[in-house]
Amino acid sequence: MTRKRHVRVLIDAQTIEKRVTELAQEIIKSNPEDLLVVAVLKGSFMFAADLLRALHTAGMEPQAEFIHISSYKEGMVSSGKVSVLKDIDSPVKGRDVLLVDDILESGRTLAYAKDLFAARGAKSVKLCVLLEKPGHRAVQINADFTGFQCPDLFVVGYGMDVAHSYRQLPFVGVVETEA
């Protein structure tokens, strides 16, 4: 018997769009200077793109970069070891850096990235995450800007995946299997 999968919508596209616009306003109110937005690949790519457009629409002109760091590899559970798979090209010394990620869960990846940019001389390093699961911290770290609190579910969509599937969905959802 084949099991059919479907994705249950947890946060719809319109709700995400509204919250991204609000996050852009919150970021602007923090008065960043010479802002470098660093998207943490791969999961944040859709969120980061929408956030950058919202910042532009609100009158900011941040630069954008991408870093690929991971503690998940192919699995659904953090390995606990963070690796830089692709670094940024831009200097960060003396700049305000905004790290943008899809989800803050264990905190290992974002703590590593925050420490990395601070060590490189960033004026400030702030964190902006679409989703936060506060009950899963392995390290002490908090986001400066949070889109939504996330229930203890493995979520996909809006850039997030399971084995590279479901990234294209315009919403955040949960994969469910039917008999």
What is the rounded distance in angstroms from the CA atom of residue 42 to the CA atom of residue 72? 11
* Best CATH choice for the domain 33-153 from the list 2.60.40.10, 3.40.50.2020, 1.10.287.70, 3.30.2130.10: 3.40.50.2020
Please give the span between the terminal C-alpha atoms of the chain, in angstroms, as a whole number.
Answer: 8
Q: pLDDT band for position 24 (50/70/90)?
A: very high
DSSP classification of residue 33:
S
Q: Which two tokens stand for residue 123?
A: 């004026």
pLDDT for the residue numbered 77: 53
What is the rounded distance in angstroms from the CA atom of residue 12 to the CA atom of residue 161? 16
The full set of domain ranges for the chain reads 33-153
36-41 and 96-104: which strand pairing?
A: parallel
Q: Where are the strands (E) in the chain, listed by range?
A: 4-11, 36-41, 63-70, 83-86, 96-104, 124-132, 145-149, 155-156, 172-178
Q: pLDDT band for position 5 (50/70/90)?
A: confident
Edge-to-edge strand ranges of the sheet holding 4-11: 4-11, 172-178, 155-156
Query: Tell me: the pLDDT tens digits for 88-111?
Result: 999 999 999 999 999 999 899 999
Q: pLDDT band for position 2 (50/70/90)?
A: low
Model pTM greater than 0.75? Answer: yes
- Cβ atoms of 102 and 69 within 8 Å: the answer is no
